Amino acid sequence: IKWTEGRGWHDAELVPYAPLAIDPANMTLHYAQTIFEGLKAYRQPDGTVATFRPRANAERFQASARRMAMPELPADLFIEACDALIKQDRAWVPDSGEASLYLRPFMFASEVGLGVRPANEFLFMVIASPAGAYFPGGVKPVSVWLSEEYVRAVKGGTGAAKTGGNYAASLVAQAQAASHGCDQVVWLDAVEHRWIEEMGGMNLYFVYGDRIVTPELTGSLLPGITRDSLLTIARDLGYTAEEGRITTEDWKRDNENGTLTEVFACGTAAVITPVGSVKSERANWTQGDGQPGEVTMKLRKALLDLQTGHTADTHGWMHPLG
Ligand code: PMP
Protein backbone atom coordinates (compact mmCIF):
# COMPACT_ATOMS: atom_id res chain seq x y z
CA ILE A 1 0.00 0.00 0.00
CA LYS A 2 1.40 3.38 -0.99
CA TRP A 3 1.11 6.68 0.86
CA THR A 4 1.59 10.02 -0.82
CA GLU A 5 1.36 13.47 0.77
CA GLY A 6 -2.01 15.03 -0.06
CA ARG A 7 -3.44 11.75 -1.29
CA GLY A 8 -3.12 9.41 1.70
CA TRP A 9 -3.13 5.61 1.42
CA HIS A 10 -3.71 4.21 -2.06
CA ASP A 11 -3.01 1.38 -4.49
CA ALA A 12 -3.19 -1.64 -2.19
CA GLU A 13 -2.12 -4.72 -4.10
CA LEU A 14 -1.19 -8.35 -3.53
CA VAL A 15 1.82 -9.26 -5.65
CA PRO A 16 4.22 -12.23 -5.83
CA TYR A 17 7.29 -11.94 -3.60
CA ALA A 18 10.05 -10.24 -5.58
CA PRO A 19 12.99 -7.85 -5.09
CA LEU A 20 12.26 -4.12 -5.12
CA ALA A 21 14.12 -1.72 -7.38
CA ILE A 22 15.60 0.94 -5.06
CA ASP A 23 16.87 4.30 -6.27
CA PRO A 24 20.34 5.06 -4.85
CA ALA A 25 18.93 8.31 -3.46
CA ASN A 26 16.00 6.58 -1.76
CA MET A 27 15.61 8.49 1.52
CA THR A 28 15.39 5.35 3.68
CA LEU A 29 18.84 4.22 2.60
CA HIS A 30 20.28 7.45 3.95
CA TYR A 31 18.07 8.57 6.84
CA ALA A 32 16.49 5.32 8.04
CA GLN A 33 12.89 6.46 8.23
CA THR A 34 11.60 2.93 8.59
CA ILE A 35 9.46 0.94 11.06
CA PHE A 36 8.30 -2.66 11.35
CA GLU A 37 6.23 -5.16 13.29
CA GLY A 38 6.30 -8.89 13.95
CA LEU A 39 3.30 -11.11 14.66
CA LYS A 40 2.27 -14.72 14.18
CA ALA A 41 -0.61 -16.68 12.68
CA TYR A 42 -1.31 -20.05 14.30
CA ARG A 43 -3.23 -23.03 12.97
CA GLN A 44 -6.20 -23.77 15.25
CA PRO A 45 -7.36 -27.29 16.22
CA ASP A 46 -10.29 -27.13 13.73
CA GLY A 47 -7.91 -26.32 10.87
CA THR A 48 -8.72 -22.62 10.70
CA VAL A 49 -6.07 -19.91 11.10
CA ALA A 50 -5.93 -17.05 13.62
CA THR A 51 -3.46 -14.26 14.34
CA PHE A 52 -2.57 -13.21 17.90
CA ARG A 53 -3.51 -9.64 18.90
CA PRO A 54 -2.97 -8.01 15.47
CA ARG A 55 -4.70 -4.83 16.68
CA ALA A 56 -2.03 -4.41 19.36
CA ASN A 57 0.63 -4.66 16.65
CA ALA A 58 -1.33 -2.20 14.48
CA GLU A 59 -1.46 0.28 17.36
CA ARG A 60 2.23 -0.08 18.18
CA PHE A 61 2.94 0.44 14.47
CA GLN A 62 0.98 3.71 14.64
CA ALA A 63 2.94 4.79 17.72
CA SER A 64 6.22 3.97 15.93
CA ALA A 65 5.01 5.96 12.90
CA ARG A 66 4.28 9.03 15.04
CA ARG A 67 7.75 8.90 16.61
CA MET A 68 9.41 8.57 13.19
CA ALA A 69 7.37 11.36 11.53
CA MET A 70 5.63 8.86 9.27
CA PRO A 71 1.94 8.58 8.34
CA GLU A 72 -0.25 6.37 10.55
CA LEU A 73 -1.75 3.39 8.80
CA PRO A 74 -5.36 2.83 10.01
CA ALA A 75 -5.43 -0.28 12.24
CA ASP A 76 -8.14 -1.93 10.12
CA LEU A 77 -5.99 -1.57 7.02
CA PHE A 78 -2.98 -3.06 8.83
CA ILE A 79 -5.06 -6.09 9.90
CA GLU A 80 -6.71 -6.41 6.48
CA ALA A 81 -3.31 -6.46 4.78
CA CYS A 82 -2.06 -9.23 7.08
CA ASP A 83 -5.28 -11.20 6.56
CA ALA A 84 -5.11 -10.81 2.78
CA LEU A 85 -1.58 -12.16 2.66
CA ILE A 86 -2.43 -15.21 4.79
CA LYS A 87 -5.66 -15.92 2.89
CA GLN A 88 -3.79 -15.84 -0.37
CA ASP A 89 -2.41 -19.27 0.55
CA ARG A 90 -3.28 -20.63 3.98
CA ALA A 91 -1.16 -23.71 3.35
CA TRP A 92 1.81 -21.59 4.43
CA VAL A 93 0.53 -21.67 8.00
CA PRO A 94 2.13 -24.78 9.54
CA ASP A 95 -0.28 -27.16 11.23
CA SER A 96 1.86 -28.55 14.00
CA GLY A 97 2.27 -27.45 17.61
CA GLU A 98 4.23 -24.27 18.16
CA ALA A 99 5.03 -23.69 14.49
CA SER A 100 3.44 -20.60 12.98
CA LEU A 101 3.44 -18.20 10.06
CA TYR A 102 5.53 -15.17 11.03
CA LEU A 103 4.27 -11.92 9.52
CA ARG A 104 6.52 -8.92 9.02
CA PRO A 105 4.60 -5.70 8.26
CA PHE A 106 6.91 -2.74 7.58
CA MET A 107 6.95 0.76 6.18
CA PHE A 108 9.72 2.89 4.74
CA ALA A 109 10.24 6.18 2.92
CA SER A 110 9.99 5.54 -0.81
CA GLU A 111 10.77 9.11 -1.85
CA VAL A 112 13.98 9.95 -3.67
CA GLY A 113 15.99 12.92 -2.41
CA LEU A 114 18.91 13.93 -0.26
CA GLY A 115 17.32 16.62 1.92
CA VAL A 116 16.99 15.70 5.60
CA ARG A 117 13.24 16.05 6.26
CA PRO A 118 10.27 13.70 6.64
CA ALA A 119 9.61 12.00 3.31
CA ASN A 120 6.31 12.58 1.56
CA GLU A 121 6.02 9.14 -0.02
CA PHE A 122 5.99 5.84 1.84
CA LEU A 123 5.45 2.18 1.08
CA PHE A 124 3.79 -0.23 3.52
CA MET A 125 4.32 -3.92 2.87
CA VAL A 126 3.76 -7.26 4.59
CA ILE A 127 5.92 -10.32 3.98
CA ALA A 128 5.61 -13.69 5.71
CA SER A 129 7.60 -16.80 6.44
CA PRO A 130 6.79 -20.07 8.21
CA ALA A 131 8.53 -20.31 11.58
CA GLY A 132 9.22 -23.63 13.25
CA ALA A 133 9.12 -24.17 17.00
CA TYR A 134 11.74 -21.87 18.57
CA PHE A 135 13.09 -24.72 20.72
CA PRO A 136 12.64 -27.86 18.61
CA GLY A 137 14.68 -29.95 21.05
CA GLY A 138 12.95 -28.71 24.21
CA VAL A 139 13.14 -25.36 25.97
CA LYS A 140 16.74 -24.32 26.63
CA PRO A 141 17.70 -21.47 28.98
CA VAL A 142 19.69 -18.62 27.44
CA SER A 143 22.80 -16.97 28.81
CA VAL A 144 22.77 -13.16 28.93
CA TRP A 145 25.34 -10.39 28.87
CA LEU A 146 24.64 -7.19 30.85
CA SER A 147 25.79 -4.46 28.49
CA GLU A 148 27.45 -1.71 30.55
CA GLU A 149 29.34 -0.18 27.62
CA TYR A 150 26.59 0.29 25.04
CA VAL A 151 23.06 1.55 25.48
CA ARG A 152 20.08 0.76 23.30
CA ALA A 153 17.97 3.82 24.00
CA VAL A 154 17.83 7.08 25.86
CA LYS A 155 14.90 9.07 27.21
CA GLY A 156 13.47 11.12 24.37
CA GLY A 157 15.05 8.77 21.82
CA THR A 158 13.45 6.08 19.69
CA GLY A 159 13.64 3.15 22.15
CA ALA A 160 9.89 2.70 22.36
CA ALA A 161 9.50 2.64 18.55
CA LYS A 162 10.13 -0.43 16.44
CA THR A 163 12.51 1.23 14.04
CA GLY A 164 15.49 -0.29 12.23
CA GLY A 165 18.06 2.07 13.73
CA ASN A 166 17.52 0.62 17.21
CA TYR A 167 18.49 -2.78 15.90
CA ALA A 168 21.44 -1.54 13.85
CA ALA A 169 22.82 0.15 16.96
CA SER A 170 22.44 -3.06 18.96
CA LEU A 171 24.48 -5.32 16.68
CA VAL A 172 27.86 -4.41 18.14
CA ALA A 173 26.60 -5.17 21.66
CA GLN A 174 25.15 -8.46 20.49
CA ALA A 175 28.55 -9.33 19.03
CA GLN A 176 30.16 -8.39 22.35
CA ALA A 177 27.71 -10.67 24.18
CA ALA A 178 28.62 -13.50 21.80
CA SER A 179 32.34 -12.88 22.36
CA HIS A 180 31.72 -13.45 26.08
CA GLY A 181 29.94 -16.70 25.28
CA CYS A 182 26.45 -15.27 25.86
CA ASP A 183 23.35 -15.74 23.72
CA GLN A 184 21.70 -12.36 24.28
CA VAL A 185 22.31 -8.80 25.43
CA VAL A 186 20.44 -7.32 28.38
CA TRP A 187 20.13 -3.56 28.03
CA LEU A 188 20.45 -1.28 31.03
CA ASP A 189 19.31 2.32 31.40
CA ALA A 190 21.45 4.93 29.67
CA VAL A 191 22.13 7.13 32.70
CA GLU A 192 23.17 4.88 35.59
CA HIS A 193 23.77 1.63 33.70
CA ARG A 194 22.07 -0.37 36.42
CA TRP A 195 18.30 -0.40 35.81
CA ILE A 196 17.23 -3.43 33.78
CA GLU A 197 15.41 -2.45 30.60
CA GLU A 198 14.99 -5.36 28.17
CA MET A 199 16.78 -7.91 26.03
CA GLY A 200 17.83 -7.59 22.37
CA GLY A 201 14.46 -8.66 21.02
CA MET A 202 12.50 -9.62 24.13
CA ASN A 203 11.19 -8.14 27.36
CA LEU A 204 12.18 -9.54 30.76
CA TYR A 205 10.25 -10.90 33.74
CA PHE A 206 11.52 -11.55 37.26
CA VAL A 207 9.75 -14.25 39.29
CA TYR A 208 9.64 -13.83 43.06
CA GLY A 209 7.73 -16.95 44.12
CA ASP A 210 4.15 -16.22 43.06
CA ARG A 211 4.85 -12.54 42.23
CA ILE A 212 6.16 -11.68 38.78
CA VAL A 213 7.67 -8.30 37.94
CA THR A 214 8.59 -6.78 34.57
CA PRO A 215 10.54 -3.53 34.12
CA GLU A 216 8.13 -0.60 33.75
CA LEU A 217 7.80 1.18 30.40
CA THR A 218 10.20 4.07 30.77
CA GLY A 219 9.94 5.23 27.17
CA SER A 220 13.28 3.67 26.32
CA LEU A 221 12.15 0.05 26.00
CA LEU A 222 9.80 -1.57 23.55
CA PRO A 223 6.27 -2.14 24.88
CA GLY A 224 6.15 -5.84 23.99
CA ILE A 225 2.80 -7.40 23.21
CA THR A 226 3.89 -10.68 24.81
CA ARG A 227 4.92 -8.71 27.92
CA ASP A 228 1.52 -7.05 28.06
CA SER A 229 -0.32 -10.34 27.49
CA LEU A 230 1.60 -12.04 30.29
CA LEU A 231 0.60 -9.41 32.86
CA THR A 232 -2.98 -10.55 32.23
CA ILE A 233 -2.34 -14.28 31.83
CA ALA A 234 -0.28 -14.41 35.03
CA ARG A 235 -3.15 -12.75 36.94
CA ASP A 236 -5.60 -15.23 35.38
CA LEU A 237 -3.42 -18.02 36.80
CA GLY A 238 -3.45 -16.50 40.27
CA TYR A 239 -0.04 -14.82 40.29
CA THR A 240 0.56 -11.24 41.30
CA ALA A 241 1.88 -9.51 38.18
CA GLU A 242 3.27 -6.02 38.24
CA GLU A 243 5.54 -3.50 36.57
CA GLY A 244 8.49 -2.31 38.62
CA ARG A 245 12.12 -1.24 38.64
CA ILE A 246 14.96 -3.72 39.09
CA THR A 247 18.70 -3.05 39.15
CA THR A 248 21.52 -5.40 38.29
CA GLU A 249 22.41 -5.44 42.03
CA ASP A 250 18.83 -6.48 42.94
CA TRP A 251 19.06 -9.27 40.37
CA LYS A 252 22.34 -10.63 41.73
CA ARG A 253 21.42 -10.26 45.41
CA ASP A 254 17.89 -11.64 45.14
CA ASN A 255 19.18 -14.60 43.15
CA GLU A 256 21.79 -15.28 45.86
CA ASN A 257 19.32 -15.01 48.73
CA GLY A 258 16.85 -17.19 46.86
CA THR A 259 13.92 -14.74 46.74
CA LEU A 260 14.27 -14.29 42.97
CA THR A 261 13.28 -17.77 41.88
CA GLU A 262 13.21 -17.47 38.08
CA VAL A 263 13.93 -15.01 35.27
CA PHE A 264 12.55 -15.29 31.77
CA ALA A 265 12.37 -13.29 28.56
CA CYS A 266 9.33 -13.00 26.33
CA GLY A 267 8.57 -11.95 22.77
CA THR A 268 6.74 -12.99 19.64
CA ALA A 269 9.60 -15.13 18.29
CA ALA A 270 10.40 -17.38 21.27
CA VAL A 271 7.17 -16.75 23.24
CA ILE A 272 8.97 -17.37 26.58
CA THR A 273 12.65 -18.19 27.11
CA PRO A 274 14.15 -18.98 30.52
CA VAL A 275 17.31 -17.10 31.47
CA GLY A 276 19.89 -19.56 32.85
CA SER A 277 23.01 -17.49 33.46
CA VAL A 278 24.18 -13.90 33.64
CA LYS A 279 27.54 -12.28 32.89
CA SER A 280 28.94 -8.75 32.91
CA GLU A 281 32.39 -7.16 33.11
CA ARG A 282 32.23 -7.53 36.89
CA ALA A 283 30.03 -10.51 37.64
CA ASN A 284 29.06 -13.98 36.52
CA TRP A 285 26.27 -16.04 38.08
CA THR A 286 23.86 -18.86 37.42
CA GLN A 287 20.23 -17.87 37.64
CA GLY A 288 18.60 -20.24 40.17
CA ASP A 289 19.70 -23.74 39.25
CA GLY A 290 20.15 -22.74 35.60
CA GLN A 291 17.17 -24.83 34.53
CA PRO A 292 13.78 -23.69 33.16
CA GLY A 293 11.60 -22.78 36.17
CA GLU A 294 8.11 -23.96 36.99
CA VAL A 295 6.40 -20.57 36.69
CA THR A 296 8.21 -19.85 33.43
CA MET A 297 7.08 -23.13 31.90
CA LYS A 298 3.52 -22.75 33.21
CA LEU A 299 3.17 -19.28 31.69
CA ARG A 300 4.76 -20.48 28.45
CA LYS A 301 2.25 -23.30 28.16
CA ALA A 302 -0.69 -21.02 29.04
CA LEU A 303 0.25 -18.51 26.34
CA LEU A 304 0.96 -21.12 23.67
CA ASP A 305 -2.26 -23.02 24.49
CA LEU A 306 -4.15 -19.78 23.94
CA GLN A 307 -2.35 -18.98 20.67
CA THR A 308 -2.82 -22.49 19.26
CA GLY A 309 -6.48 -22.58 20.27
CA HIS A 310 -6.16 -25.19 23.01
CA THR A 311 -7.69 -22.96 25.68
CA ALA A 312 -10.58 -20.51 25.54
CA ASP A 313 -9.76 -17.04 24.25
CA THR A 314 -11.32 -15.23 27.21
CA HIS A 315 -9.73 -11.87 26.35
CA GLY A 316 -10.70 -11.77 22.68
CA TRP A 317 -7.06 -11.76 21.60
CA MET A 318 -7.29 -14.23 18.73
CA HIS A 319 -8.26 -12.80 15.35
CA PRO A 320 -9.79 -15.66 13.32
CA LEU A 321 -9.45 -15.67 9.57
CA GLY A 322 -11.99 -18.45 9.12
N1 PMP B 1 11.93 -5.77 22.76
C2 PMP B 1 12.47 -5.65 21.53
C3 PMP B 1 13.62 -4.76 21.34
C4 PMP B 1 11.91 -6.38 20.45
O5 PMP B 1 12.45 -6.29 19.23
C6 PMP B 1 10.81 -7.23 20.68
C7 PMP B 1 10.22 -8.02 19.56
N8 PMP B 1 9.21 -7.29 18.89
C9 PMP B 1 10.29 -7.31 21.99
C10 PMP B 1 10.87 -6.56 23.00
C11 PMP B 1 9.10 -8.16 22.30
O12 PMP B 1 7.93 -7.62 21.73
P13 PMP B 1 6.72 -8.54 21.28
O14 PMP B 1 6.27 -9.29 22.48
O15 PMP B 1 5.68 -7.59 20.81
O16 PMP B 1 7.23 -9.44 20.21
Ligand 1 atom at minimum distance from 57 CA: 15
Residue 107, pLDDT score: 98
CA 268 to ligand 1 center in whole angstroms: 7
CA 265 to ligand 1 center in whole angstroms: 10
* Residue 50's CATH number: 3.30.470.10
Q: Are residues 53 and 173 in the same domain?
A: no
Which of 96, 131, 166 is the C-terminal boundary of a domain?
Answer: 131
Is the complex ipTM more than 0.95? yes
Residue 137, pLDDT score: 80
Tell me whether residue 319 is in a domain: no
- pLDDT score of 130 more than 90: yes
Q: Are residues 28 and 124 in the same domain?
A: yes
Q: Are residues 65 and 153 in the same domain?
A: no
- pLDDT score of 136 more than 90: no
Residue 85 belongs to domain spanning: 2-131
Q: Are residues 270 and 149 in the same domain?
A: yes
How many domains does the chain fold into? 2
Q: Are 263 and 291 in contact (CB under 8 A)?
A: no
Residue 134, pLDDT score: 82
What band does 138 get if pLDDT is binned at 50, 70 and 90? Answer: confident
What band does 147 get if pLDDT is binned at 50, 70 and 90? Answer: very high
Residue 194, pLDDT score: 95
Which of 131, 154, 176 is the C-terminal boundary of a domain?
Answer: 131
Interatomic CA distance for residues 55 and 318, integer angstroms: 10
Would the pTM count as exceeding 0.95?
A: yes
CA 117 to ligand 1 center in whole angstroms: 28
Which of 85, 100, 131 is the C-terminal boundary of a domain?
Answer: 131
